[in-house]
Amino acid sequence: MEKRNVYEKPVTLVNILKFAAPTVAMTVFMSFYTMVDGLFVSNLIGTDALSAINLTAPVIQLVTAVSTMLATGGSAVIMKKMGERREEEAKEDFTFLILVNVAVGIAMCALGYWAMGPVFVGMHLSAAVETYCVEYLGRYLLFTVPILLMNNFTLYMIASGKSVLSFICSVSGGVLNMVLDYVFIAGLHMGIGGAAMATGLGYSVTAVVGLVVFGKKKSLLHFKKPAFRVGVLLHAATNGCSEMATALVTGIITMMFNWTMLRYVGEDGVAAVTIIMYVLMFASSLYTGYSCGVAPMVSYYYGENSGEKLKKLVGTSLRVIAFLSVLTVALSFGFTSPLVSVFARPDNAVYDLAVTGNRICTVALLFIGFNIFASGLFTALSNGAVSAILAFSRSFVFMLITMLVLPAFMGVNGIWLATPAAELMALMLSVRMFVKHGQRYRYF
């Protein structure tokens, strides 16, 4: 019952931030150590290896897409049942969905190895970069199941009131990743394959801790004999399809960015895109962390039919996101040169490309937070259809339009402008959906 009191506290800014802060810190830290991963690779191996990490990202996103769908969709379904006081049924569904994720991980690992060769051969890369790609992805895929379990346990720890533990796991995994990066690359000279193994072992920390924590009956959520319910699986899948769509289309759009850069600039352009993606990812992690942090509260208040609490939560969240938007834009503009110089020296051709690109792409941070929150809100409200429309339009339709049109007229600058333009279009759609469904869910 103590855990349930977390959701029964008054909905104030302080209580919301207390609930969401560990998730925000965890997400920011995860993006930070992803950047550190790139930092070690770019400085100890070279910018060709940094390009390879970006070139392998679409395959990794495709491999993890189904698990992302089941994790986010399943969390909303399970926490809604908890809010409806159907605890035992929720625990059965939780165990069932974790087992499904393990099976998905095995299948996706095999698919990743099968797709690896044709994907990289089709890019017509230099021999050095192609070798880096195969070596990095080949080692990374060995950790597919632990990584998928990490994705799931991170969300379920947050949902069950263990967000601090989730944060500790993420910090521990991140520190382990950074230490092993240095040991494997600089000490043992394992190259980019060592970087992949360091990342996989770092992610595995949360998977191991989750198996222990959820194996104990004192946890709000814990493993018990699963019940195979097709409806639950379908509900989780449809509810989380927006997150899967985001993962899938992010992989596709990343490939488009890479191919377009290879066409206009070459492999230096891919390295520049990688640096800018790190910066945008780090800033966006604030929005993602906050949205994931408050999602269980949204699902719970919706499940107990508490419209007043939901209204206060959403209104406060929009103000928080507005503040973060202004803050991240200011910081990204102000620290562009120092951030880029960490990855590429000023005398490197990649440096000038990345500085120019980051200053243009930073405008997107004014819109990204609202778009992330809108999609996450509808997922938490178990409206996977609207969430999918928002996510798919933002990540694919609008990005596809801007990526095809703007570079044709503006060259490289058009590639950088594609992201802000697509996010602005997505914001217009988010506002429309938010207003349209406001009375139904009573969040304003």
In 3D, which of 170, 175, 223 has the Cα closest to residue 36? 175
Supply the DSSP symbol for 215. Answer: T
> What does the alpha-carbon distance between residue 42 and residue 207 come to, in Å, rounded to a whole number?
28
In 3D, which of 311, 432, 419, 408 has the Cα closest to residue 362? 419
Tokens at 341, concatenated: 């110089």
Supply the DSSP symbol for 143. Answer: G
Number of helices followed by number of strands (H, E) in the chain: 19, 0
Supply the DSSP symbol for 219. Answer: S
- Identify the pLDDT of residue 402: 92
> What does the alpha-carbon distance between residue 159 and residue 154 come to, in Å, rounded to a whole number?
9
User: Is 336:359 a contact under the CB 8 Å cutoff?
Assistant: yes
In 3D, which of 137, 120, 112 has the Cα closest to residue 199? 137
- Identify the pLDDT of residue 6: 66
DSSP readout, 87-140?
HHHHHHHHHHHHHHHHHHHHHHHHHHHHHHHHHHHTTT--HHHHHHHHHHHHHH
User: Is 67:104 a contact under the CB 8 Å cutoff?
Assistant: yes
Angle (CA) 84 296 396, round 5°: 120
pLDDT, tens only, 411-435? 888 988 999 999 999 999 999 999 9
Q: pTM of the predicted model, to two decimals? A: 0.70
Q: Which residue shows structure tokens 């509808």?
A: 378
- Identify the pLDDT of residue 33: 67
Angle between helices 127-140 and 87-121 (to 10 degrees): 160
- Identify the pLDDT of residue 417: 92
In 3D, which of 55, 71, 61, 170 has the Cα closest to residue 124? 55
- Identify the pLDDT of residue 130: 82
Tokens at 183, concatenated: 């040991």
> What does the alpha-carbon distance between residue 390 and residue 245 come to, in Å, rounded to a whole number?
10
- Identify the pLDDT of residue 197: 92
Listed as ranges, residues in the chain with pLDDT below 70 are 1-6, 33, 83, 122-124, 220, 239, 241-243, 245-247, 249-250
What is the per-residue burial (b if ≥16 Cβ within 10 Å, else e) of 118-151? ebbeebebeeebbbbbbbbbebbbebbbbbbbbb
> What does the alpha-carbon distance between residue 123 and residue 121 come to, in Å, rounded to a whole number?
5
